[in-house]
A and B are shown apart, each in its own frame.
Chain A
Amino acid sequence: MSSLSSSSQLFLPPGTPFPINVVKIQAKTSDSVQRGSPLLTYSFTSRPSEPGGRTQVLFGIWDCPVDGTIERWCVKERDVITSEDKAVVYVSEPCKHGVQMGGLCALCGKDMTQSDYTGFSNEARASIQMTHSANGPKVSLEEAQRIERETAMHLFSTRKLSLIVDLDQTIVHATVDPTVGDWIAEGEAWEARQGASSEAESDSDQSSQGEDDQVNPNWEALKDVKKFRLSPESFGLPPSPDGRRAKGKEKAVETQGCLYYVKPRPGCHDFLSSVATKYEMHVYTMGTRAYAEEVCKAIDPDAKFFGGRILSRDESGSLTQKSLQRLFPVDTSMVVIIDDRADVWEWSPNLVKVIPYDFFVGIGDINSTFLPKLDASTSGMPQMSPTPLGRQPPAVSGSTLSTSAPGPSSRPQPKNMSRKEILQKEMIARNSLALEAQVEERPLAKLQEELQEAANGQLASDTSMSDTASGQSENSSKTSDAPGEKHHRKALLKNDDTELQRVKRLLDAIHEQFFEAYDNRAPDKERTKFVNKAQPSSSVLYDIRIIIPGLRFQTFDGLHILFSSVIPLDARPESTDIWNLAEAFGATCYTELTREVTHLVAAKRGTAKIDQARKRDESPYLMDEPLSSSATAPDTASSPAPPDAQQISSDPEPDADDWDVEPGSGNGGSGAAATGMAAAQGSGTMYEEELDDLKRISEQSQSLELSLSWEDADEELREFLASGDEEDEDEDEEGDGNGDDGDGASSKDMGHTSESARKNDQRLGGETGSVDGGSAPSSPRTRRKRLRSLTPSEAGLNASDDDLLRSPLSKRKKLAKDRQNASKLKESISPEEFAPPTVPSPREEDEEEDEEDDESIFGDGFEDDFLARELEEEMG
């Protein structure tokens, strides 16, 4: 109740004509005042508006904006007040209206929406929204502090912390692909047959199905998949943007809504129930409210883990960002976040990054279509999720594109709508389009088909090529880590994710450290902490924002890293993301090769620094992809240089494979860096992982074998598509060729790197018909343009595109470009381009891949250009 009785300071309103002379104070101390009763009379000098006019002294009255009792005046009569930022009078109010609900003060029941001539808005006094619901009560800062203090007390007394849990790809994976439903039905039917009939009968039953005498291979993993239906309003489907959408499709979605399939991450229930003893959990998801509630119902049927603490994008206030302040406006020192995306949290120190869960291969996060695209770097995003199925006919990518086309082309909208609104609408439209596309195209069915074909192909394929590296590093973790399981009928969906166990260990460690620090605090610290809640006092050690970065720091602690051809020459090394990232993880970075350097991180072979390092062979070094591979450092460090080089030459993307083997990482080459980081965050577990790395390296050769069949596949496809864009290929080769020139080429090379990463991404996105149709096609193109402008030889091409750049389409591209900039870091360390292989055959493979990538991209670009031109013509 103290907040009720404590006095509030009153300030002069902003419109006061300063400086003013206090003429008379009209309410004495301990007088009671009402809103509107005069407090003081002042005089001021009015300046004439036109020159030559007379200045005159005018008088004004300041009326009290609140009810209460005057406690103390800070000014005397005849004082001069020059600014509005000093409190003039203290008034003790019967109610400070610190909690407001629906325009009413929740404490005294007064209407807060009235406004009068005093210009003092009671509503503005409580502006912080800190409940999970969208129109729940709002509180003032003071009240928020009080509530958080109480929360903290409560948490301390139960020895818990707060944990914010993301849903999609963190603890569940969801899809709308109806194939899953079919498979489940198939599996259930099989179960029923198994149960009902004798074995012999069931055998014959199955064979009568005309397939193998086995159940659907994915059934095992699909057993715990939950499904629910959401009506279209609940995913915010706006009224059809234009008539161009296929009516039938729209209708189907409109009438019955969408059937969602949700797969809890393996160990999800154990994870939640064990974490629930140490954390108070909140859900914060980018899905809609209805979606979030359904998913929570599926994973937490009794609502005992999350209760009502669910925050969805409907309440979040932003479609692209998550904000810790939304739930914990004042004190975030006891909050841990687990999420598969760090960018939406702006790399908050409270975040424990989780390797994205990619169960429904290639589906990605169905609720993130409007999030900024993850670049190669960030990994894990579904869109670029590594699938072994490099052979989808280009037609699919075309159709994805055309589905999403209405979004961009309906872009020119009435200007009176705010830009933000348009953006949001577009995002939501794109999301629902993507969902529809997924329903239509059944990417999983296609993948399974491909997998099947591939498996058959592989039986025939020669294993002698196993020691050659392949360009197929995007071979999915799911397939590559289970070489022994290649049965005749292979399962696309696997139940082999162990990420939650790792996260649980991490959370336990964090909890332990926090309360250890808390228990060891100086006895009087507790008080100061609560007093200083508003400004986080760095003296307090039990602060998550110290503990998590601390854990992170241990990862590379004691490592001394030198970058070679990773950082562009024109950039200040200290300001680059990669540098900062490495330092954030505890490494010390250098610009020159010195005695201290323990690890050399190079983007390609043969740079000056590598040569230099090789000369002093006592310096262990590592030519590899930065950061993620550094985790493997202890292994490689001990081995002499030549084997290292060997490793690189035999495997173009060692890390991709490395990390792919990590169960459930599903990141593929492009995601390795971020994966590494995610893994690295759990320094507590780092050493285990290093051990794993040893195993992985030995497994690597096996996984390479697996990828070989894909080489064949790609070869075929390449021939099929052989009409490629030669110029582009040249361009690529040139990039590779320049690789050896050292740092000079690096900036370009990095652009190239990211481009090719994008290409792979794009290719995969297209092939799998995945949800990202809306934005994926645009981003690679943008990048291409940027890249081209770097190379004079391409100038001609650029010019021809110039007029198109003024079209609405180009605006969208620009937008896409901006978004990508968000995660530049990732681009720079995408693994695709590191260490070009020297063994001829894989090298060839690589180029061929590039070629076909270019092909498909060119196709897209062409199609889009065509659309834009058409649009321009229409608009005349």
Chain B
Amino acid sequence: MFFIKELTHTIMLHPSYFGPRMQQYLESKLYSDVEGTCSGQFGFIIAVVSISDIGKGMVLSGNGQAEFVTRYRAIVFKPFKGEVVDGVVHNVTRMGIFAEVGPLNCFVSQQSNPPSYTSQDQVIENNTKIRIKIIGTRVDATEIFAIGTIKEDHLGVIE
């Protein structure tokens, strides 16, 4: 599920960047630091929507770097059990299929499939788009992995 969430990120800025273009630098640093990352708590940070507060920039005693605690709003994607998502198949094995739901890797066991990958009207192979219901997620500190099923009505290959 997607959320807009207010998050904070701490940037340490080297004194050599202090100057007129510091603001832009902080922004681009924020984008490159957080976009596309994954935290177990919030899920995948898809995109930064806006920066609400770039921070004061406290110079740390000892090393001279400035610490900016930036607050920003971002679109995050966190999969939940029971959620129905659309994905693209990227690997088919004897055990089941692996699908990519955006940044999320999802495994659908062959037993959570209808009996066959191939029927008259639909084939599951690489790059097939399928609709999956998530039945379990494994959330690590920096990674989320999901188990899904397509063995329910209206799940499976989508046109």
Contacts and interface: CB of A to CB of B under 8 A. Distances in A.
Interface of A: 1, 3-4, 98-99, 101-111, 130-133, 136-137, 139, 147, 150-151, 308
B136 A147 contact: no
Contact of B93 (A98, A107, A308): A308
B86 to A, nearest CB: 18
A132 B147 contact: no
A107 B94 contact: no
A122 to B, nearest CB: 13
B95 A99 contact: yes
A106 B109 contact: yes
Given A308-B91, A308-B93, A137 B107 contact: yes
Describe A's contact surface by its main secondary structure: loop
Contact of A107 (B81, B111, B134): B111
Contacts of A137: 93, 95-96, 107, 109
A109 B147 contact: yes
A689 B68 CA distance: 79
A136 B93 contact: yes
Contact of A151 (B92, B94, B111): B94
A102 B138 contact: yes
A99 B96 CA distance: 10
26 contacts: A99-B110, A99-B111, A101-B107, A101-B109, A101-B145, A102-B107, A104-B136, A104-B137, A105-B147, A106-B95, A106-B107, A106-B111, A106-B112, A107-B112, A108-B136, A109-B136, A109-B137, A110-B136, A130-B94, A131-B93, A137-B96, A137-B107, A147-B95, A147-B110, A151-B94, A308-B93
B135 interface: yes
A99 B109 contact: yes
A105 B81 CA distance: 13
B135 A109 contact: yes
Interface of B: 81, 91-96, 107-112, 134-138, 145, 147
Contacts of B111: 1, 3-4, 98-99, 106-107
Contacts of B92: 308
Contacts of A132: 93
B96 A111 contact: no
A147 B94 contact: yes
Describe B's contact surface by its main secondary structure: strand
Given A101-B145, A102-B107, A308-B91, 13 more contacts: A101-B107, A104-B145, A106-B108, A107-B109, A108-B136, A109-B136, A109-B137, A111-B138, A131-B93, A132-B93, A137-B107, A147-B94, A308-B93
A537 to B, nearest CB: 23
A131 B95 contact: yes
A280 to B, nearest CB: 11
Nearest to B135: A109
A105 B136 contact: yes
A576 B31 CA distance: 70
A545 to B, nearest CB: 21
Contact of A131 (B94, B135, B136): B94
A50 to B, nearest CB: 49
Contacts of A139: 95
> Most A CB atoms within 10 A — which of B81, B110, B111, B137?
B111
A106 B94 contact: no
A109 B111 CA distance: 12
B147 A101 contact: yes
A308 B90 CA distance: 10
A151 B94 CA distance: 8
Those 5 A-B pairs whose CB atoms lie nearest each other, nearest first = A109-B136, A109-B135, A106-B109, A137-B95, A109-B147
Contacts of A133: 93
Given A1-B111, A99-B109, A109-B81, A104 B147 contact: yes
> Most B CB atoms within 10 A — which of A3, A98, A131?
A131
A221 to B, nearest CB: 36
Nearest to A308: B91
A308 B125 CA distance: 12
A102 B96 contact: no
A4 B111 CA distance: 10
Contacts of A99: 95-96, 109-111
Contacts of A104: 136-138, 145, 147
A3 B112 CA distance: 13
Contacts of A108: 135-136
A107 B109 CA distance: 6
Contacts of A3: 111
A111 B136 contact: yes
Contacts of A4: 111
A184 to B, nearest CB: 33
Nearest to A309: B93
B135 to A, nearest CB: 3
Contacts of B136: 104-105, 108-111
B143 to A, nearest CB: 9
Nearest to A154: B94
Contacts of A151: 94
A107 B96 CA distance: 10
